[in-house]
Chain A
């Protein structure tokens, strides 16, 4: 009967690892406000799945040490669980597509879902390393636990930086665009955008309240990312979500110089916020094809 219960040491290792792993998930949940589930239920769901991921990582080492090799196979459950998190997030965001001002687009949804999946791996790996450090350290239990926590924090820092993506602001300049309405056509900085302004109301609305930004790529090859339809859709989505959308929203690319126009009639008139939100729009993983893009200096000049 005695062998069926966990020792105090094992229990301490597991509990510490689970707590640190879950806290790691909570931390990265808050880290990126665009992909942060702003609804309380979403927040709870991701904390709980993070807790489960941390628990799986925490018990792996004690299971191995007790020669319970069969029990380690439950790690496959972890993989399945993380894939389910991605699937759940993808389905959830896809269901919301028709209720937003503009579409997020499948490319952006895929990127967000992958981010959620990878953040569960962060909880899992952190808990695993905390558990490993605490177990193999030959010192007093409490010192081992402190060492495990320190290693856990270091692992989270490393993984957070490793998984941190780039944004449009890293590869391009985002500037305010000058709106012109000629007949029923809309031009931004001389770039034709749309001719959907056929009524007097539409022209008046855009002249008085329209806002536009133009994205100028720093290098010619960054156009590969910026011209991507999913990428432009994501930037437009972030713009309309940040400022609201009274009427009309367009994106247009300029073939000659590679400039990209984002324009809309927002509810909140704040051009600085529009520039900022477009700059901070994440570069989609699906649009990254070039190695030279991957080597971009993240810190800027």
Chain B
């Protein structure tokens, strides 16, 4: 649920799945490259299910798996 700006955000980014190699950067979270839209969706759903996490699709088409 939405948290107020004064509160400490209570979320963690668990994984980032992208179809652009340039966006695969080192970071705290797992960043994966998918070669097709289908594979991107599959990976996202599988990881989200395993981690019991939520998924956000960014407007650039990438997926971010996070726990709120």
Contacts and interface: CB of A to CB of B under 8 A. Distances in A.
B55 A196 contact: yes
B1 A251 contact: yes
A184 B2 contact: no
Interface in B3-46: 4, 7, 41, 44-45
Contacts, number: 42
Q: Which interface class (under 10, 10 to 19, 20 to 34, 35 or more) fits B? A: 10 to 19
A222 interface: no
A68 interface: no
Nearest to B64: A198
Contact of A229 (B4, B41, B55, B57): B4
B57 A252 contact: no
A80 interface: no
Interface residues of A, number: 21
A2 interface: no
Contact of B45 (A197, A199, A236, A252): A199
A250 B1 contact: yes
Interface in B35-68: 41, 44-45, 48, 54-57, 59, 63-64, 68
A199 B2 contact: no
A229 B2 CA distance: 9
Contacts of A250: 1-2
A89 to B, nearest CB: 25
Given A183-B57, A184-B56, A184-B57, A198 B63 contact: yes
Interface in A12-64: none
A66 interface: no
Contact of B55 (A198, A233, A251, A253): A198
Given A183-B57, A202-B55, A250-B1, A196 B68 contact: yes
Nearest to B4: A229
Contacts of B63: 198
A195 interface: yes
Contacts of A195: 56-57
Contacts of B64: 198
Nearest to B56: A198
Contacts of B4: 229
22 contacts: A183-B59, A184-B57, A193-B2, A194-B2, A195-B56, A195-B57, A196-B54, A197-B55, A198-B44, A198-B55, A198-B57, A198-B63, A198-B64, A199-B41, A199-B45, A200-B41, A201-B45, A202-B54, A229-B4, A229-B7, A250-B2, A251-B2
Interface of A: 102, 183-184, 193-202, 229, 233, 236, 249-253
Q: In the A-B complex, list the 9 residue pairs whose CB atoms are closest, starting with the nearest.
A: A198-B55, A184-B57, A198-B57, A196-B54, A198-B56, A199-B55, A250-B1, A195-B56, A252-B2
